[in-house]
Structure 1
Amino acid sequence: MKKAATTPFFLLGHPVGHSLSPAMHNAAFRTLGLRARYTLIDVPPGEIPRALQELRDKECGGANVTIPHKEAAFRFLEARHALSDNARILRSVNTVVFRPDGSLVGHNTDAPGFLDALKEAFRASPRGKHILLLGCGGAGRALALTCAMQGAASLTVADIRPAARRRLLLALRQTAPGRPVAGISLSPGPLAARARECGLILQATPVGMKPGDPSILPPESFRKGQLVFDLIYNPAETPLLAAARAGGARTANGLGMLLHQGARAFRLWTGRTPPIPVMRAALERALKKRTP
C-alpha cells in the first residue's frame, strides 16, 4: 500500500471529544513542517485490540490511548506485540509506536510526563518526600508507582474504595519492597492530619472537575512549603488547589503533565525534538476557548 501523503495519528478513548491533544500535536506538526494530522477516534469499551489492528493496517504514524483503554491496550500489546520497560512495570499504555515491520510497541509517557511537570512547576522530584496520593484509580496507580521507584520516603494512598487501596498497596510493595506505604480512607479528620504531615500531595480523583465540587481537603490540611499537584487542568484552579494556596502551599494543575506526556509521545513517534513552547501555547489557546 502506498503511504498516504499525510500521516495519520490518533487518540483512542471513550469519550474523547473533550481532548485538547489535537491542538497540541497538530501545532507541533505544523511548526516542524511534518505532513501529519492528529485526530480523535471514539472506541467503545472492549474494542481497543480491533482498533489498534485497523490502525496498523492503515499505516498509522502513532496513537495515544486514554480512558478507559490504557490497561486493555497493555494486555493486548503484552500478548501480541511489545512493551517498553516502563509500560510493563506500570501495566498501562498511553502511547503506541507503529514500526515499519508492522509490529507495535506500547509505552507509558504519563509517568515521565508527570516527573517533567513536577520538575517544571516546583523544581522538585518525589525523591525523599513523604507523599499523600488522593485517588487509587489508573492515574493514581501510575503516579504512586512512579514516586516509589523515584525514591519517595513514604507513600500514603487514599480512596473511598477499600479494594482499590488494597490493590495499589500490593503493587507498591511488589514494585518497591521496603518502601513505607499505608492506606487511608477519605474521611476528613484522619486524612487532613496525614496531609499536613506530607510534603507532596497528589490529587488524582475527578473531584474538582464539576462546578460546585468541594475540596477533598480543607485549608488547615496545608502548610507553607508543601507542594500540591492536581491532575485536573480544567478548571485551572480546582477547589483543592484554592484551599492549598490559602493554606500556604505551592500549587500546580495538570496542564503541565498533559503537555509533557504529549511531548514525549511526539518524540517517540517522530524522532524529532518536540517544540514544547508551541505545544504549550496551543494547549492554552484551546483551553481558553472552552473556559466559560
Structure 2
Amino acid sequence: MTELSNTYIVSDEQRRFYDENGYLVIKGLLDFATLYNYKRRFLQICKGTVDRGVIILVKETSLKNKGVTGENLINKLHDIHYDEVFMTYTEHPRVVNVVSQFIGPEIRIMNSMLINKPPGSISHVPHQDLYYFPFRPIDKIIATWTAIDDATLENGCLYVVPKSHKQGILYPHENSIGASRMYHGIKNAVLQEPRVNLEMSPGDTVFFHPLLVHGSGANVSKHHRKCITVHYASEHCEYIDVRGTVQDVIAREIEDEAKRRGLNLSFEEAWQIKSKSVTAPSKL
C-alpha cells in the first residue's frame, strides 16, 4: 500500500467549487488502517473497556425505549479531541493541511464528534452549524466530515443544499421533535436549491462552510454508519454576544447543560474552555 503524504494541495478548481457551492468532497483522504483505529476506539468506549476521559456519550433518543444497548444505542461521542486515539484525526496532518488552505495556518479545534448512526436512527433535519458558534468571522470557520463506514442513502448519508451559504443568512432554528437535546433544525425550511446526497466511501472527506444548510437521512439499513467530524476556526476569530439573536435559544441551552454538569459558564466560555490549538504542517 502506498503511504499517503502529510499534505494535500487543494487545486484552484477545487477551491472555486467550495467557494461556489459551500462544500468540497476529497476522495480517499485517509487510509483504512487509520479509520479502523477510530472504529475500534469507539467500540472500546461503548463497552467501557477504556477510560473515556472528557468524552460525552450521547444516546439515540429514538432507540432508548427499544431495549438496545452499546453500539446499537450510542449516537455520538462528543469532545473527542483530547483522546489519544481520536486526536490522530483531529490533528491529522492531511486534514489540518487542507483546513489551513481555507482558514490559515493558526488553527483551533472547536468541536469534535464521532457520529454513529445505528439501524433505526432517525434523520437529522436541515440545519446550519454556525447556529451553535459564538465566534466569527464566518469565513474563518470550516467543518470536516470523514466517512468511517460506507455512507449511503439507505443508511442515512449526509445531504447538502449547494450554494445555501451564499445567502449570508443564519436562519432561526428550533428543537427537532424526537431528536436528542440540542439537535435543532431550521424553522419552516424553504430550500430553493435541490439537496445533493453525499454518498461516500471510507476515507472520503467533505469540507463545508458553517452557513451551508445540511442534514442526514434516517438509517433504514441493517448496518451502522459511522463518521468522524471536526469544526475548526482560525486562532484570530473573536467571540461575539449572541443574546437577542437567532442563537439565543441554543446559547441558553448550552449554558443550562454546563450548569447540569456543575459548571457555571457563559455560552462563549463553554466554547473557549474546550477548544484546542493545532499546528498545520508545512507544505513540502
TM-score of Structure 1 vs Structure 2, range by shorter chain: under 0.3
Give the structure-2-normalised TM-score: 0.27
Greater Rg over alpha carbons, structure: 1
Structure 1 or 2: more strand by fraction: 2
